[in-house]
Structure 1
């Protein structure tokens, strides 16, 4: 082997090693960002029973429902708006900016003097929270081979439920001093910012030479119209289900006769199930196909949610059903994001993810609102779980409309 060839191979090895390190850094920072999002979004559901018991700032069910709804309006707007920004300026700028917004406004929330101010700060924090997930998932899609995108999406989203587990455990420790949940989450975000600034590599979609760009309007016509409708409706139903549960599960179970501590433990167990489900779903999605996996997952989610409508006195059985419900409910929704990454071309992938998440966030807004109405009427248990099971079936039907494989675009290989 010539000296020139040796130098060339050495250079290639160094480039590959650098790319691998960059991919690992991008993956870890994306995961940590999603972890913070999970911590912050589950925090409100964990403290709602305390707000209601103490009537903080005069809060009742109507006020907490308003705060949860406005928060998720912000999350939806953030998710919808971040895609074009990430596609134009890069995922790094989008992700760092979103963390900055939600960290600052999260720290300000315990200082609120009125319900309106608390809701307004929660809304602005929601803009940053909503932007995190599409940006992080887009980064993961860019640095991950196509054959492993289901695992990439589900592993990234385990961060959300690790954050949710951390929020549940922290709530058990610090309540009734709920302010600590906001201070901890906001402070960690601020600590993460300089690390992201210096360590997070840029990730932008690279244009294919001589290949036409895919315009945004292409998502609304063939061959993207069918997958767009399927994943949008599926995401709407999936996030209606996810956020209805995360926001109101402790209060529903408390109203059903379980203690507050037991209700918070159930929130913890459901999110542990979600982490297990995400790890299993990623492997199943990559080996058996993403779309078939989603269909099976939503069918099983509907079954176990329906079982939770039954009042159980055996704690082990109850927690087992909660755990298995968590396994299927949350990972089914994340598999939809993996399906988007699979079906949509890289030139519009961040925008497609953002729109899917944004439209899904409309369901996230409706979920706490509808569930809160049922709780207010004294129907949270069992009717809340009947409604959740129905929503899972509707999500299944929507994903059945989407194709299994990506369309072939003229000018693209």
Structure 2
């Protein structure tokens, strides 16, 4: 969006509603990891089979993320977010009622479709409305809801699973039906960029007036108005190399995020920590990502996303390797907090980077495809982790694997070329600043 951001009140309503939605996405991420020991016991399945169950939700997310660009063109960003929240919430109720591993996996697969569409839509909305000079920070604040959801799942699991059983954890995950949907339906605005691109200028003008912002005038080719236009934008000459490297970064970050969140409690139990301590480690892991995301978002606004993402990957790799040395308990907490930033926090920063890397017409498609390809890594993370545990290999090998993947992500981040869209945005901002300076000096 060109021009100024919406009023502070309107902006934070958008950030709060998207962040609240993302909170339950984060809850879903961690809830499976907290219930894995219970599933292993109740259904007498192996760790490899549990890894497959975890991956089914991620397959659904992959499909949902790839479809989000096309569906958003039909429904709009606001309706897409509402549909995604409702869809995955209903699936959580079905998971709580699942009579067998097969049905549980099917419901997780269906729920993944909604989760896959949620994050790209929320990302595009927040980046659109965020102040240009604070986009990374604003996005990081919203995306921190993801880790808050993970913390909520880990904290609730400690008393709920022993007292009420694992199924209650999934019922709690359906709370967006009564917490998020009514508020979002009432207060969340549609994307101005979407309305303008679809030719609904009168609606866009009325909304812009209500929010107190200028009407965006995105300059797009005619083919970006078609369903495949956003996808074509990703592979144009100016974006092609960056697109491939951003996909590699998402693949690596999501492999480590989902691998560790799924298996961290079980890995720490294999290292002879009790279940309560293992779940506390999961809580610290997610808490670290909140602090890291906000600090990293502020740094990215000042020096750019690329170096901050690279440093985050490096911190993740180093902290994960050090966890394999089984340090003292206080050091484990510190390393897990840093690893939380180096994995979940890194992915949060990548999301903001990807969403800004493309022009307005391709934002939802760009982040949707990046997260869709990244879900391949998310699928592999729990599966590979389960296979390593099932093989009888030492528990440290999961940490070695995830650290190596973070190093690959670091290498990809180092080679991402400058985005033509970001370069044009910076040039336009400088021209506006120069024009203001000339006007002030003339007066």
TM-score relative to the length of structure 1: 0.91
Name the counterpart of 1:6.
none
> Which residues in structure 2 correspond to 1:182-221 (within 5 Å)?
182-205=170-193, 206-207=196-197, 208=217, 211-213=220-222, 214=224, 215=229, 216-221=231-236
Name the counterpart of 1:339.
353
> What secondary structure, in the 3-state scheme, does the structure 2 residue paired with 1:221 have?
coil
- Please, what is the CA RMSD of the aligned residues? 1.9
Shift of 1:262: 0.9
Distance 1:29 1:298 in 2: 29
Match of 1:381 among 386, 392, 395: 395
Distance 1:151 1:30 in 2: 15
Asked if the contact 1:162–1:275 (Cα under 8 Å) also holds between the matched residues in 2, the reply is yes
Match of 1:116 among 102, 110, 121: 102
Asked if the contact 2:218–2:360 (Cα under 8 Å) also holds between the matched residues in 1, the reply is no
Asked if the contact 1:146–1:342 (Cα under 8 Å) also holds between the matched residues in 2, the reply is no
Distance 1:46 1:404 in 2: 40
Name the counterpart of 2:237.
222
Asked if the contact 1:103–1:190 (Cα under 8 Å) also holds between the matched residues in 2, the reply is no
Name the counterpart of 2:207.
none
Asked if the contact 2:36–2:50 (Cα under 8 Å) also holds between the matched residues in 1, the reply is yes
Asked if the contact 1:79–1:134 (Cα under 8 Å) also holds between the matched residues in 2, the reply is yes
Shift of 1:17: 11
Name the counterpart of 1:130.
116
Match of 2:329 among 315, 330, 337: 315
4+ residue segments displaced more than 6 Å? none
Distance 1:102 1:32 in 2: 14
Alpha-carbon displacement from aligned partner over 1:250-273 (angstroms, at most 9, x marks no partner): 101111111111110100011111
Name the counterpart of 1:78.
64
Asked if the contact 2:242–2:419 (Cα under 8 Å) also holds between the matched residues in 1, the reply is no
Match of 2:384 among 366, 370, 373: 370
Name the counterpart of 2:321.
306
Shift of 1:201: 1.1
Asked if residue 351 in structure 1 is aligned to residue 365 in structure 2, the reply is yes
With over 3 angstroms needed to count, the CA separation of the structure-2 counterparts of 1:209 and 1:115, relative to structure 1, is closer
Match of 2:92 among 106, 127, 133: 106
Alpha-carbon displacement from aligned partner over 1:380-401 (angstroms, at most 9, x marks no partner): 6211111111101100111222
Distance 1:111 1:121 in 2: 10
Distance 1:123 1:157 in 2: 23
What stretches of structure 1 of length at least 5 have no aligned partner?
1-15
> What secondary structure, in the 3-state scheme, does the structure 2 residue paired with 1:175 have?
helix
Match of 2:338 among 309, 316, 324: 324
> What secondary structure, in the 3-state scheme, does the structure 2 residue paired with 1:222 have?
coil
What stretches of structure 2 of length at least 5 have no aligned partner?
198-216, 429-443
With over 3 angstroms needed to count, the CA separation of the structure-2 counterparts of 1:380 and 1:272, relative to structure 1, is farther
Distance 2:71 2:362 in 1: 12
Alpha-carbon displacement from aligned partner over 1:342-389 (angstroms, at most 9, x marks no partner): 221011011001001111111100111111111111226211111111
Asked if residue 24 in structure 1 is aligned to residue 24 in structure 2, the reply is no
Name the counterpart of 2:33.
45
> What secondary structure, in the 3-state scheme, does the structure 2 residue paired with 1:186 have?
coil
Match of 1:259 among 274, 282, 290: 274
Aligned residues: 393
With over 3 angstroms needed to count, the CA separation of the structure-2 counterparts of 1:211 and 1:368, relative to structure 1, is closer
Alpha-carbon displacement from aligned partner over 1:70-121 (angstroms, at most 9, x marks no partner): 1110111111211222244311100000011111110111211121111001
Match of 2:79 among 83, 87, 93: 93
Distance 1:60 1:18 in 2: 52
Asked if the contact 2:85–2:176 (Cα under 8 Å) also holds between the matched residues in 1, the reply is no
Name the counterpart of 1:7.
none
Name the counterpart of 1:277.
292
With over 3 angstroms needed to count, the CA separation of the structure-2 counterparts of 1:146 and 1:253, relative to structure 1, is same
Shift of 1:222: 0.5
Distance 2:27 2:246 in 1: 26
Asked if the contact 1:99–1:132 (Cα under 8 Å) also holds between the matched residues in 2, the reply is yes
Asked if the contact 2:161–2:169 (Cα under 8 Å) also holds between the matched residues in 1, the reply is no
Name the counterpart of 2:406.
392
Asked if the contact 1:91–1:204 (Cα under 8 Å) also holds between the matched residues in 2, the reply is no
